[in-house]
Structure 1
Amino acid sequence: MKNIVKLLITPIFTLGFIWGSASAADPVLTASGTFTLEVKALPMYSGETALPTSKGVLTFQGKDYPFTVQALTMGNNFGSATLKANGIIYAMKDLSQFESPFFMIGGGINPGEGNEIATYKNSKGVIVVMTGSLNGPLWMPASGAAVKFIK
């Protein structure tokens, strides 16, 4: 009986070791910087257009860089919304990599759910992991959330 158990357990441990070794070779992302962000979307009433306003601060290589996020919208919903978030930037070697539309690749921050996590990536390979809260309807169009530095 002991030999049968050994025969069954040995392949399982061997496969686990091989899979574990393969994942150990995967690249490890290191943090490049941090950021804070606040987006306020104002009420949109009949005939009135009120675009969201945003302000953020990127901390990269010991310096702070103010930025804004464009293209976040409420669509046709009525009411106001505020997104308050902070996060970590990964895979950014150069400040110029930050100004680019970001697209959601995982998670999400939903109204009234408390602190939630969302992950975004841009075409330059920068990854953002954001934690935040949202108190109303806010969505990002298919063109992405365009990040621009404030000069």
Structure 2
Amino acid sequence: MKILSLLRVGLLALAALVGGMSMANAADGTVKIRIFKAGFVFGGSAGEGVLTFQGRQYPLAVGGLSYGFTFGASETRFHGKVRNIKRASDISGVYAQGGAGAALVKGAQVVVLTNQNGAVLELTGEQTGAIVSLDLSGLALSLK
């Protein structure tokens, strides 16, 4: 019994060490994204951006769909950080969000999103245009 307990503790320690090493390899980058959104019930968004990671810049393509109460059009310019990526391609993926918002001429936006690779986007920005939304939306980012 005592040997099984020691073995179990040893395996847990090894798992913690390996998990810690994989997180230690993760790094942060910065992101600038420009998104255009328009819709009436169904909405769509498209845009572009740049990821700066480990001294290099990577162009990004942005796209997405939304469903719910959406009416109007807007442009949002985001900037911020992407955390927990090991390589630039980890930013690629689908980021899901449910939310509500409104902008008439100008409005502030703050967003924290995660994709299937574990990348975490922490973005702030300013929205211009006239749009009201209460929707579920998905944002897809990919390297160009």
Please report the TM-score for the alignment, with normalisation by the length of structure 1.
0.60
Structure 1 residue 62 corresponds to structure 2 residue 58? no
Distance 1:61 1:36, change over 3 A: same
Q: Report the alpha carbon displacement of residue 83 of structure 1 after superposing the two structures with TM.
A: 1.1
Question: How far apart in 2 are the matches of 1:145 and 1:56?
Answer: 13
Matches within 5 A, 1:120-131: 120-131=113-124
CA contact (8 A) 1:35 1:56 kept: yes
| Ranges in structure 1 where 5+ consecutive residues have no aligned partner | 1-26
What is the Cα-based RMSD across aligned positions, in Å?
3.3
**Hey, what does 1:146 align to over in structure 2?**
140
Structure whose residues are more often strand by fraction: 2
| Ranges in structure 2 where 5+ consecutive residues have no aligned partner | 1-22
**Of the candidates 119, 127, 136, which is equivalent to residue 134 of structure 1?**
127
Distance 1:139 1:103, change over 3 A: same
Q: Which amino acid aligns with 2:101?
A: N
Which of these two proteins has the greater Rg computed from alpha carbons?
A: 1
Question: How far apart in 2 are the matches of 1:115 and 1:31?
Answer: 27
Q: Report the alpha carbon displacement of residue 138 of structure 1 after superposing the two structures with TM.
A: 5.9
Distance 1:93 1:139, change over 3 A: farther
Q: Report the alpha carbon displacement of residue 70 of structure 1 after superposing the two structures with TM.
A: 1.4
**Of the candidates 22, 35, 38, which is equivalent to residue 39 of structure 1?**
35
Q: Report the alpha carbon displacement of residue 124 of structure 1 after superposing the two structures with TM.
A: 0.9
Question: How far apart in 2 are the matches of 1:104 and 1:50?
Answer: 14
**Hey, what does 1:11 align to over in structure 2?**
none
What does the per-residue CA deviation read over 1:111-144, in whole Å, with 9 as the maximum and x for residues that have no partner? 33733321000111111100012232467745x3
CA contact (8 A) 1:39 1:53 kept: yes
Please report the TM-score for the alignment, with normalisation by the length of structure 2.
0.63
Distance 1:67 1:140, change over 3 A: farther
How many corresponding residue pairs?
Answer: 116
**Of the candidates 78, 99, 115, which is equivalent to residue 92 of structure 2?**
99
**Of the candidates 67, 76, 79, which is equivalent to residue 86 of structure 1?**
79
**Hey, what does 2:12 align to over in structure 1?**
none
Percent identity, please. 24
